[in-house]
């Protein structure tokens, strides 16, 4: 699997993502600067976490208009695979490649903690290494991770199975009104969503942080292993 990571001014999670990708592919991903206008021949583009452009205006709003994003939109239109994590998820919603928006956390505080995610479907490139309903631990670190969408969009996400991950407790129970289980207050406890063709995934927590037992565990590794397998098929 050939991959590329986009780096914006203020991005700070590109190295963690690069380590995760190299762990499963055996080769370092290509790093793309926000001013680049050419996208190399890759299978996967990743928009990593951080604070692109200092999160001025809105998180991801300025990054959505970077020169490289025109190429990434074209890549998406051709059926390319894209993963957006944290700020990357925010950028995907700002570009319209994924629906909804990420608002300030319900408690109005920056959160940095572990959470549990429940896998809502396992027939996508991003989730097929887990069983449906599986629960895994992963860190989150954001101030604006409260996912929201209008009623029509939410109905479509739920009705068409486009929710990839939900915040849950360690047993897999979802409680949207429980701050411990759903820390940022996301509607329907949504932690990650998919595009209609399931080739674009956006999520707020950081699976790339847990891909090595020496760094706390490998709970996030199945996402990256699954992507590699998807391209081998």
User: What is the structure's pLDDT at 55?
Assistant: 83
Give 214 or 187, the one with higher predicted confidence: 187
User: What is the structure's pLDDT at 54?
Assistant: 87
Residue of 59, 86, 115, 201 marked catalytic: 86
User: What is the structure's pLDDT at 233?
Assistant: 59
pLDDT band at 66, cuts 50/70/90? very high
pLDDT in tens, 76-90: 999 999 999 999 999
pLDDT in tens, 118-142: 999 999 999 999 999 999 999 999 9
201-to-46, 58, 85, 171 alpha-carbon distances in Å: 10, 20, 8, 24
Q: What percent of the chain has pLDDT over 70?
A: 100
Backbone angles phi, psi at 77, to 5 degrees: -65, -25
pLDDT in tens, 35-51: 999 999 999 999 999 99
User: What is the structure's pLDDT at 48?
Assistant: 98
For the domain made up of 3-232, give the CATH fold.
Rossmann fold (3.40.50)
Q: What percent of the chain has pLDDT over 90?
A: 94
* pLDDT mean over 55-72: 91
104: CB partners within 8 A, 6+ apart:
143, 144, 146
Q: How many CB atoms lie within 10 A of CB 26?
A: 9
User: What is the structure's pLDDT at 56?
Assistant: 80
pLDDT band at 232, cuts 50/70/90? confident
Cα separation of 223 and 6, whole Å? 19
Q: Where are the domains of the chain?
A: 3-232
Catalytic residue check, 206? yes
Q: Where are the beta strands (DSSP E) in 62-109?
A: 81-85, 101-103
Asked if residue 149 has pLDDT above 90, the reply is: yes
Task: Give the mean pLDDT of the chain.
Answer: 96
Catalytic residue check, 208? yes
Catalytic residue check, 160? no
pLDDT band at 164, cuts 50/70/90? very high
């Amino acid at each position: 699997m050939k991959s590329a990571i986009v780096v914006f001014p203020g991005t700070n999670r590109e190295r963690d993502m690069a380590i995760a990708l190299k762990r499963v592919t055996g080769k370092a991903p290509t790093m793309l600067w926000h001013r680049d206008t050419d996208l190399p021949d890759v299978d996967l583009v990743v928009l990593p976490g951080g604070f692109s452009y200092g999160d001025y205006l809105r998180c991801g709003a300025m990054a959505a208009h970077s020169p490289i994003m025109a190429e990434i939109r074209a890549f998406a239109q051709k059926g390319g695979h894209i993963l957006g994590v944290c700020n990357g998820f925010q950028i995907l919603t700002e570009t319209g490649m994924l629906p909804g928006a990420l608002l300030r956390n319900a408690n109005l505080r920056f959160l940095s903690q572990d959470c549990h995610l429940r896998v809502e479907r396992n027939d996508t490139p991003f989730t097929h290494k887990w069983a449906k309903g599986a629960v895994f631990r992963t860190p989150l670190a954001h101030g604006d991770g409260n996912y929201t969408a209008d009623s029509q969009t939410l109905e479509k996400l739920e009705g068409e199975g486009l929710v990839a991950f939900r915040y849950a407790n360690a047993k897999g129970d979802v409680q949207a009104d429980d701050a411990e289980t759903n820390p940022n207050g996301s509607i329907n406890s949504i932690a990650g969503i998919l595009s209609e063709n399931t080739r674009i995934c956006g999520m707020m927590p950081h699976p790339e942080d847990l891909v090595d037992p020496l760094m706390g565990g490998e709970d996030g590794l199945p996402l990256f292993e699954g992507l590699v397998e998807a391209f081998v098929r």
